[in-house]
Amino acid sequence: MLLLFDIDGTLVQRASGEHAQALLQALRNVHGVQADTISAHGSAAGRTDGEIARLILLDAGVSARRIDERAQAVRDECCRLYAELCPPDLSGKVIEGIPQLLRWLAQQPGVRLSLVTGNFEPVARIKLRAAGLGRFFAAGQGGFGSDSEDRAMLPPLARRRAGEAAGLGVSWPRERTIVIGDTPRDIACARADGARCLAVTSGPHPAQDLTQADAVAGSSVQLRELLELALSQPA
């Protein structure tokens, strides 16, 4: 089973302040665009970093062509700044029970842990390392905001990378893939790839916003119960 975890709101909470600061500063440095907050341009929950940047820049009057031409520069600058801004210890931001859940999953035969997140990959890796969770997620695996602005493109990319790493010669089967996240956008990206989705209420959305998931967990204990059930089902 391939388990594709979101990060913000799913593994950690309230750990995005420096991340947002780095992205906004990157837009100032690369485009000269002054934006004080991300929330003024709609909820960032479940969006990719590139999509958030594009929304802010379009609202500031930057052309789509210029956004495309400087997208890599924004990514690089955001990641450079986040490496400087990220607190060295984010372990206090880890959602209760997540380390125990990941340790248990890592011991299960046939389980692969990976990521599908809107974070640019270097940001994701730095954040997870500071949170003490980086060891659970192998390099070269997952799907990130630096791969595509469109979150729907990330699960199939993560499946392809998992299939390559496992020596399958094809993408990891979607019927043996579960996306785990905390927003309707996490659910939508799973559905776009024909994968299952387990939602968690540890992010900004209550259970009633997440009813399109296969199941909703209100805690890491409930999430483990749902995963135990999924792992017990025959391939």
Q: What is the pTM of this model?
A: 0.95
The tokens describing 13, both together, are 């909470």
Q: Which of 85, 111, 137 is the last residue of a domain?
A: 85
Q: How far is CA 222 from the centre of its chain?
A: 21
Please say if the pLDDT value at position 55 is more than 60. Answer: yes
Residues 73 and 96 in one domain: no
> Alpha-carbon distance 149 to 68, whole Å?
11
Residues 221 and 183 in one domain: yes
pLDDT of res. 36:
78
Spatial neighbors of 119 by CB under 8 A, at least 6 apart, are: 7, 8, 19, 49, 127, 144, 145
pLDDT of res. 235:
62
**What CATH number is given to the structural domain containing 213?**
3.40.50.1000
Please say if the pLDDT value at position 41 is more than 70. Answer: no
Q: Which of 85, 102, 118 is the last residue of a domain?
A: 85
Residues 10 and 22 in one domain: no
Residues 191 and 143 in one domain: yes
Nearest by Cα to 15 from 122, 77, 89: 89
CA max distance for the chain: 54
**What CATH number is given to the structural domain containing 65?**
1.10.150
Residues 52 and 25 in one domain: yes
Please say if the pLDDT value at position 231 is more than 70. Answer: yes
Number of domains the chain contains: 2
Residues 53 and 136 in one domain: no
> Alpha-carbon distance 53 to 41, whole Å?
10
Q: Which of 65, 85, 105 is the last residue of a domain?
A: 85
Residues 207 and 134 in one domain: yes
**169-179: per-residue pLDDT in tens?**
999 999 999 99
The residue range of the domain holding 199 is: 2-14+91-232
What phi and psi, each to the nearest 5 degrees, are found at residue 80? -65, -45
Residues 115 and 212 in one domain: yes
Residues 162 and 114 in one domain: yes
Residues 110 and 9 in one domain: yes
pLDDT of res. 46:
82
Are 187 and 64 spatial neighbours (Cβ–Cβ below 8 Å)? no
* Sequence letter at residue 109: P
* Average pLDDT estimate for 83-109: 97
Residues 164 and 188 in one domain: yes
Please say if the pLDDT value at position 134 is more than 60. Answer: yes
Encode burial over 161-193: b for 16+ CB neighbours within 10 A, e otherwise.
Answer: bbbeeeeeeebbebebbbbbbbbbbbbbbbbeb
Residues 101 and 164 in one domain: yes
